[in-house]
A and B are shown apart, each in its own frame.
Chain A
Amino acid sequence: MREDVIYSFKGLYRDAFRVKGYVFGEGEKTACIVGSLRGNEYQQVYVCSLLIKKLKELEEYGKVSKDKSIMIVPCGNPYSMNIKKRFWSIDNTDINRMFPGYEKGETTQRIAAGIFEQIKDYKYGIQFASFYMPGHFVPQVRIMKTGNENIEMAKAFGLPFVVVHNPRPFDTATLNYNWQIWDTEAFSIYTSSTEKIDKKSAKTGVNAVLNFLAKEGVIDYEITEGCVSKVIESDKFISIRTTNAGFMKPLVQAGDVVIKGQVMAYVTNPYTGEVIQTVTASTDGIIAFEYDSPIVYQNTAAFKLIPLS
């Protein structure tokens, strides 16, 4: 294992800003795995740490394929993580809205450009991503529809779902989108959490990446039993929304199967405890996303369902 500083600059009163990459094997730039780009993505860093540990072991046993190299970038934004801020410390910009970056631009554009320069030539790009709303996902691999997407390859992760996503304008500045545009086979892996470490789903994420690397011949590794992935377009998800604001008490969780009419949650008046909405399933489905915050706003997607039909 080699530890490289792939981007850095000096701070005024803080230690230098450093982005590190951990490299395994030598030769062709084959697979790059990126963890957190935001300061609250603790789970994403944790998953990378598990992968680094495992790949170090595999490398020591000579199980990284000849002429292939893997790089893991556990955290693209340690400055924000150390001050518990989601976005960039000074101007609140989002590094994952700055790709492919601009080396002569503003700070986060430069960071994105500096990271991208080091990771853009890999054959496979895998990012552990997070959603902007607090909640839990059923483990899934997401792939953006740019015309370069490789849906069949995404099944190699052995996760229950491959979600194909039509990019919106702001998605065009994400790492995943730009990796694809630069001819990297790009995938985003969603494990179930972001701000809290969930060991079980972290393990699922690690196994998914190891399975993928083994199937693509990057490592010699005994593939664990995965799922036959169901492919679904993200706009086929059915949002179950709150019609009232208040406290939400969920009765089901991500991964559960629900039937049409099943009570999924209650929204209550925070002062009186009176139930002001009974949230029910509009169709039979699997819960792909479960909102996780005590308070909900009107129109909040409390759940996202993958229809069973």
Chain B
Amino acid sequence: MKELLESIEDVVRLSLPVDERFVITKHRFMADRKKRQKRICIVTGIHGDELEGQYVCYELSRRIREQVDSLNGIVDIYPAMNPFGIDSITRGIPAFDLDMNRIFPGNLDGDMNEYLAYKIIEELEGADLVIDIHASNIFLTEVPQIRINELNADVLVPIAKKANMDLIWVHGASTVLESTLAYSLNSKGTKTLVVEMGVGMRITEEYGNQLADGIFSLMKELGIWTGAVPDMKEAIVAYDADGDDVCYLNAPCSGIYMKEKKHGSVVEKGELVGKIINPLSGDVIAEIKAPEKGMIFTVREYPVVEEGSLMGRILKEKVILENQV
């Protein structure tokens, strides 16, 4: 068995006001000391309440160590881009009330957070592939999926198809999204996939294993992994740049949402998906029915809703049929 080169390194280290250092770290696995090696970067924890990526980071390390001989490049794992957020169960950056995924590409001469964003981009730029793992939020569960800005669809969809996901959702471009890590890296020519799966504040081991399989498949495509990988799932691809492939279920009133269908379920048009109840009056105040036939790929987990709260998303049947063709 060949020797595995492993190191835990600082990406950024800064002093905090009261006797503490702020550190973003990475775990590097290298096959050897050759200068020109392919590199994949696994990033997670930009949102501090999204923990699904934590297990994936662990599982990747475990499998690499188990099959050292199959590694043929560099795997960099960044489990906590927002360590303050993870530590304090906070989605954004505590103390600043900022969404870290809205400050890229950052600024070397900016404040602490802009500086961090700049250093993160500097660190990741030039990798052969970056995978940014998110986990929805505490309100919703998502089937394992990759989201791609329509601007990068040509390049990224063929790669995403090898990632063992259930769904690839190509969404429309939006100016606001230009401040995300993925947008910044893709615009600099560093291919970056955004994974969304599971739910906030929880870990779904099954999804973690599914994505870990997908990452090894992508590593194999890049030549970073020579070991065997299982057969990959064939993802449904929704080219939804015009917003016509997905139905959104938003609450018509405030109340407690009781879901009737699990995510991944196929529902008929008009079928009951859930209901909103009022525990004070003891009434059902709204029945939520599927506006079209399709597959539920987003389901509300957090029961309290107010007018407008997202309760689910349905991928329209036409998209599923197009993919079958």
* Interface of A toward B, CB cutoff 8 Å: 9-13, 17, 86-87, 90-92, 97, 104-110, 132-133, 168-170, 172-173, 239, 241, 244-247, 270-271, 295-301
Check: B110 CB closer than 8 A to any chain A CB.
yes
Check B294 for interface membership: any CB of A closer than 8 A. no
Contact A173 B176 (CB under 8 A): yes
Q: State whether A9 touches B307 (Cβ < 8 A).
A: yes
Q: Are the CB atoms of B308 and A297 closer together than 8 Å?
A: no
How would residues 234 to 263 of chain B score, 1 for a CB under 8 Å from any chain A CB and 0 otherwise?
A: 000000000000001010011110000000
Chain B window 280-300, contacts with chain A (Cβ cutoff 8 Å), 1 for yes, 0 for no: 100000000000000000000
Residue of B nearest to A297 (CB): B112
Q: Which of B15, B97, B304 contacts A87 (CB 8 A)?
A: B97
* B134 on interface, CB distance cutoff 8 Å: no
Residue of B nearest to A298 (CB): B14
Would you give the shortest CB distance from A169 to chain B, in whole angstroms? 4
Report the minimum CB–CB distance from B278 to chain A (whole Å): 7
| Chain B residue, CB-CB nearest to A246 | B17
Within B151-189, the residues touching A (CB, 8 Å) are 175-179
CB pair B253–A10 under 8 Å, yes or no, is yes
Given the interface pairs A170-B176, A271-B19, the reply to whether A107 lies near B111 with Cβ below 8 Å is no
- Tell whether, in the assembled complex, residue A12 and residue B248 are in contact, meaning their CB atoms are under 8 Å apart: no
Chain B residues near A241: list those with CB within 8 A: 109, 111
Is there a chain A Cβ closer than 8 Å to B1's Cβ? no
A-B residue pairs in contact (CB < 8 Å), sample of 21: A9-B306, A9-B307, A9-B308, A12-B254, A12-B255, A12-B278, A17-B306, A86-B97, A91-B137, A104-B248, A107-B309, A108-B308, A168-B179, A169-B177, A241-B109, A245-B14, A245-B17, A295-B18, A299-B14, A299-B112, A299-B114
User: CB-CB < 8 A to A246: which residues of B?
Assistant: 17
Contacts beyond the supplied A17-B306, A297-B16: 19 A-B pairs with Cβ under 8 Å? A9-B254, A9-B306, A9-B307, A10-B254, A12-B254, A86-B97, A90-B306, A91-B137, A106-B310, A107-B306, A132-B98, A169-B102, A172-B176, A245-B15, A245-B16, A245-B17, A295-B17, A297-B112, A299-B112
A97 to B176, CA, bound (A): 9
B3-27 interface code vs A (CB 8 A; 1 in, 0 out)? 0000000000011111100000000
Give the shortest distance, in Å, between B110 (CB) and chain A (any CB): 7
With the chains together, A246 CA to B137 CA distance in Å? Answer: 33
B92 within 8 A of A: yes
Is residue B55 contacting chain A, with contact meaning CB distance below 8 A? no
**Chain B residue with minimal CB distance to A300?**
B111
Contact B250 A296 (CB under 8 A): no
Residues of B within 8 A of A90 (CB): 304, 306, 309
Contacts of A301 in B (CB 8 A): 111
Q: Are B176 and A247 in contact (CB under 8 A)?
A: no
B277 CB to nearest chain A CB (Å): 10
A157–chain B nearest beta-carbon distance, Å: 28
Which residues from chain B contact A109 at a C-beta distance below 8 Å? 308
B115 within 8 A of A: yes
**Alpha-carbon distance between A31 and B60 when the two chains are bound, in angstroms:** 59
- Determine if A297 and B17 form an interchain contact, defined as CB atoms under 8 angstroms apart: yes
A169 partner, pick from B15, B92, B178, B310, beta carbons under 8 A: B178
Alpha-carbon distance between A12 and B278 when the two chains are bound, in angstroms:
8
With A10-B253, A109-B308, A299-B111 as contacts: A92 and B92 at CB distance below 8 Å: yes
